[in-house]
Chain A
């Protein structure tokens, strides 16, 4: 098991390098760069800038230097925010995204699992139909629509919550709900489908034939198999939630990682883009690893070596 984890962790390094390489290639093939403006720069200044940032060297030298830095997890300084290292910027903005993301994750799990399990137990009941209709709505309404609607109702009409910006518990409520809606809806559907499949299976019939009550049948015999599809979904979902969601951070003016990521792309801030991309890809890979490990605990038929 330890060996398996160790192997998977080792693999993360080359994978992250590949992701960074592809991103770097995309940035470089796109026209324009961080210093280009509407006005054409005088050639002398352009030459100075290129020399300062090492852009006058051949591409493979630049690439080699980049890779060397990344292996040491040093992404250098931001081009736009002078004097600030990329690592500093990421760590400064991450807590906002992580707070909202983690809360949204908990809310989504709580609502999704509960709704999904009850819907499965009472298949074709009013609760089943209404919760599944609601989840369809949750899946179909994009968060850039849901967010402003919430702002309109709770901030502008009812004055219950602040419309935007970070500060205090009340400012977290709407972003978390906006972010959690899609995930809760998806988890509810996954849970319902998973539970329905398991509840129809032969071993549940066996459990009932043994005289076990419905609570034991559900919690001891059905739940484990039923939530496996949810587990495989929630791992990567948690990664993307923690890393910040661009739209929600924009709508609610939260200084999170998603917001800064968009800014870095607009600014063509190459080190910052690469830093955030590497960070996110490592995060996704680690959460996938956690999912794989938890499979092993949920399902004894899965064993790693």
Chain B
């Protein structure tokens, strides 16, 4: 309602570990961020950087065991989600915070009609009776742009295309008008043409419903157009945190710079190979004592190998996890790139 009311979500020093035969996997290791009401946050990172686990932790959807939120605070609208009993968390899931997932082909229950899957959310959280829920479900399908929703509502998921299924997922997630929508790589499994449509849809609905959004992706192009701020994750840690414009213009972390350079640019000269960050993300079960990005970093020095980098504050909203954050930032601003 009131946007000046401030913070919707604040995550402080969140650590989610998984117990495996290979040792403790520190999937998320001390991340912090805040989300204002109505704001959109992008979380960017390679596979295995912990971005999905971080958000599943917020929803308390980490399978326990083997996973466990070891420490940290998750405050959702002043409520301590981490300390809440599971029944209370369930009251919030789907109603105040909702999630859409990467693969719409497997995220809908193949055995149940779309109507059943849509209706159960509002029946549970809004106390709808069957008719109300059915009508609401049709309205939601219309809202997300499914043609002839009265006819499609009783279909099964396999009767929809991938893009349409993701629309159904979005309809389901938004049917109780949640304050927070977490979109976990919502376009990764879709065709490029459909990707733009779905992003456009999320953007429109965010504006209509006034929902705060966390958009998880590994595609910088996706977050550029619709987020207010971005955090870049690597090996379970926040590597850089900045407002979107600032991050794209003046990155202060070599990893972010590498990611930005890897984005295909249509204006780029033909024939020159696309840049890629060498190597692979490290095994988060066996991290070196120094900077986890050291092995792949172009400007790594001895200190990077031995000492964990500090989280340097560049300016009020801009932070970077690097021994040379200030230097990298200076290069970005001075280089005029």
Q: Which residues of A contact B (CB under 8 A)?
A: 201-203, 205-213, 216, 220-221, 224-225, 298-301
Contact = CB atoms under 8 A, between A and B. Distances in A.
B106 A301 contact: no
Given A209-B59, A210-B121, A202 B94 contact: no
Interface stretch (B97-105, B259-267, B323-331): B97-105
B308 interface: no
Contacts of A211: 90-95, 121, 124-125
26 contacts: A202-B101, A202-B106, A203-B109, A206-B109, A207-B109, A208-B61, A209-B93, A210-B93, A210-B94, A210-B98, A210-B121, A210-B124, A210-B172, A211-B92, A211-B95, A212-B90, A212-B124, A213-B87, A213-B90, A220-B120, A221-B111, A221-B112, A298-B111, A299-B111, A300-B113, A300-B158
A137 B8 CA distance: 55
Q: 7 closest pairs, A vs B, by CB? A: A211-B94, A211-B93, A210-B94, A202-B106, A203-B109, A300-B156, A224-B111
A225 B110 contact: yes
Contacts of B158: 300-301
Nearest to B110: A301
A157 B98 CA distance: 63
A213 B89 CA distance: 10
Contacts of B87: 213
B108 A203 contact: yes
B90 A209 contact: no
Given A210-B120, A220-B112, 13 more contacts: A201-B106, A203-B109, A206-B101, A206-B172, A209-B61, A209-B99, A210-B93, A211-B95, A211-B125, A213-B90, A300-B113, A300-B158, A301-B158
Contact of A212 (B98, B101, B108, B120): B120
Nearest to A124: B65
A201 B103 CA distance: 11
B107 interface: yes
A301 B87 CA distance: 33
Contacts of A212: 90, 94, 120, 124
A151 to B, nearest CB: 44
A300 B110 contact: yes
Interface string B293-312: 00000000000000000000
